Amino acid sequence: MIMYTPVIKYEYEGKIKKHTSNIRSYPKPYEKGDTVTILIDREDSTKVLIKSNSSLYLGSTVFMIFTLPFLIIAFLAVSISYALMRLSKD
């Protein structure tokens, strides 16, 4: 399968720079000539992100997908334990 990686050119501090995104996708997220908003680290101008949901929230989304089942199981276990404890007191 072909995966597409956005390559952007931008001007920063009077210089034209080029950045290749770490995010790969299919189909193409952008077409040639599209305008995107980028975020540049002021302390390290080589750190650039395209402002999009996938690049900004991908890590936290994947973390949540893997964590959510464990949170649900823990909540159910505590709820059942509490209910059994209340029933045993009666």
Q: Which of 22, 56, 55 is nearest to 7 (CA)?
A: 22
CA 73 vs CA 27, 49, 54, 70, 86: distances in Å: 36, 35, 28, 5, 20
Q: What is the pLDDT of residue 81?
A: 94
**What's the pLDDT tens digit per position in 29-73?**
888 888 888 888 889 888 888 887 666 677 788 899 999 999 999
**What's the pLDDT tens digit per position in 27-37?**
888 888 888 88
